[in-house]
């Protein structure tokens, strides 16, 4: 039976991670969880090269073992790969993140970084993020409590495993809409863009010290262009963006719309 490494950046107790673990198990996959022992959101691809890292076994059941890690999301993947005491795995799923990772978020997101680390280690990888509420106005304040499309992520993981020979160095950045309705469609979409100059900050100065009390006083404005991940998720569809990680996150969505190595149709998936 294939085994998936499941990780995230929201921490091992995140309801998104637990929902994904159950969906993967329901799909007939073994699941090894190695996830941060606390929230590590927006850490990007940071890894520890001098600090001591520890793993702690939190749960072991018929689905698999759950280990908390003192490091970053990328550390979690490296620890899982290089620690001889842990079972080997065939693919990486990172998420489900509590909120979307759209556009330039891929450069900041610990969720996406963990998937990239998996690809760098030769494993097919998915970064999955669940939206809630309205986008893009509230993307920084996302806190979904329901994960209606966890079954899609699990089904996609099985398809990725089957097509792994064609996915060397590629991750799938998946963003899931908040809708609970049946009949949700999925589409390959290119990374969108934001205007980061609209964020600003709030500072105060005391002599030679400047303090930034509110690093972001506004959210970066999303440019919702047709065919982008923003546009797809705002249309209540699932956005899938294939990214080649060894070429500076090369967006492959245009070519995959014509000749994709795997299908993302939902015909066999009962989402809710």
Alpha-carbon distance values, 56 to 86, 200, 232 (Å): 12, 40, 39
Q: Which tens digits make up the pLDDT trace of 202-249?
A: 888 889 988 888 777 667 778 889 999 999 998 999 999 999 998 788
Backbone angles phi, psi at 209, to 5 degrees: -115, 130
Q: Are 38 and 11 in contact (CB under 8 A)?
A: yes
Give the torsion sign (CA, 20, 132, 219, 140): negative
pLDDT score recorded for residue 101: 94
User: Does an H or E element contain 230, and which?
Assistant: helix 229-234
Closest by Cα among 180, 155, 166, 182 to 124? 166
pLDDT digits (tens, 9 = 90+) for 168-198: 999 999 999 988 666 679 999 999 998 878 7
Per-residue pLDDT, averaged over 89-118, amounts to 95
Give the C-alpha separation, 131 to 133, whole Å: 7
H or E element at residue 116: helix 110-120
Judge if the upstream peptide bond of residue 96 is cis by omega within 30 degrees of 0.
Answer: yes
pLDDT score at 200: 73
Per the prediction, the chain carries an average pLDDT of: 89
Strand partners, 60: 65
Distance (Å) of CA 96 to CA 23, 69, 193: 11, 17, 22
| Domain spans in the chain, listed from the N-terminal domain onward | 3-196+224-258
Q: Distance (Å, rounded) from C-alpha 162 to C-alpha 264?
A: 13
Instruction: Calculate the alpha carbon distances from 50 to 75, 95, 118 in Å.
Output: 12, 26, 21
From the options 3.40.1210.10, 3.20.20.70, 2.70.170.10, 3.30.70.100, give the CATH code of 3-196+224-258: 3.40.1210.10
**Contact in structure between 99 and 132 (CB atoms under 8 Å):** yes
268 pLDDT above the threshold of 60: no
Round to the nearest angstrom and report the end-to-end CA distance of the chain.
25
pTM surpassing 0.85?
yes
Q: What confidence score (pLDDT) does residue 179 get?
A: 81
Radius of gyration of the chain (CA): 18
Number of helical H runs and strand E runs in the chain: 6, 14
**In sequence order, what are the residues at sequence separation of 6 or more whose Cβ sits closer than 8 angstroms to the Cβ of residue 137?**
219
Residues ≥6 apart with Cβ < 8 Å to 122: 168
Angle of helix 150-162 versus helix 15-26 axis, rounded to 10: 50
């Amino acid at each position: 039976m294939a085994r998936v490494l499941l990780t995230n950046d929201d921490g091992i107790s995140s309801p998104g991670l637990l929902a994904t673990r159950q969906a993967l198990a329901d799909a007939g996959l073994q699941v090894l969880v190695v996830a941060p022992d606390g929230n590590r959101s927006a850490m990007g691809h940071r890894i520890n090269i001098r600090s001591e890292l520890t793993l702690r076994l939190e749960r072991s059941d018929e689905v698999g073992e759950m280990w908390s890690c003192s490091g970053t999301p990328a550390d979690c993947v490296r620890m899982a790969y290089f620690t001889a005491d842990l079972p080997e795995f065939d693919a990486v799923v990172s998420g489900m993140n509590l909120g979307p990772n759209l556009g330039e978020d891929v450069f900041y997101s610990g969720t996406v970084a963990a998937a990239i680390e998996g690809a760098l280690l030769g494993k097919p990888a998915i970064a999955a993020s669940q939206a809630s509420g309205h986008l893009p106005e509230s993307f920084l304040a996302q806190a979904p409590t329901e994960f209606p499309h966890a079954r899609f992520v699990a089904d996609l993981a099985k398809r990725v495993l089957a097509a792994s020979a064609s996915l060397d160095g590629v991750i799938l950045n998946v963003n899931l809409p908040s809708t609970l309705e049946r009949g949700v469609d999925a589409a390959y979409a290119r990374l969108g863009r934001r205007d980061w100059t609209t964020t600003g900050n709030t500072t105060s100065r005391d002599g030679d010290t400047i303090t930034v009390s509110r690093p972001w006083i506004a959210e970066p404005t999303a440019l919702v262009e047709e065919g982008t991940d923003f546009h797809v998720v705002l249309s209540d569809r699932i956005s899938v963006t294939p990214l080649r990680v060894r070429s500076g996150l090369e967006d492959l969505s245009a070519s995959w719309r014509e000749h994709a190595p795997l299908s993302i149709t939902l015909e066999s998936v009962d989402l809710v």
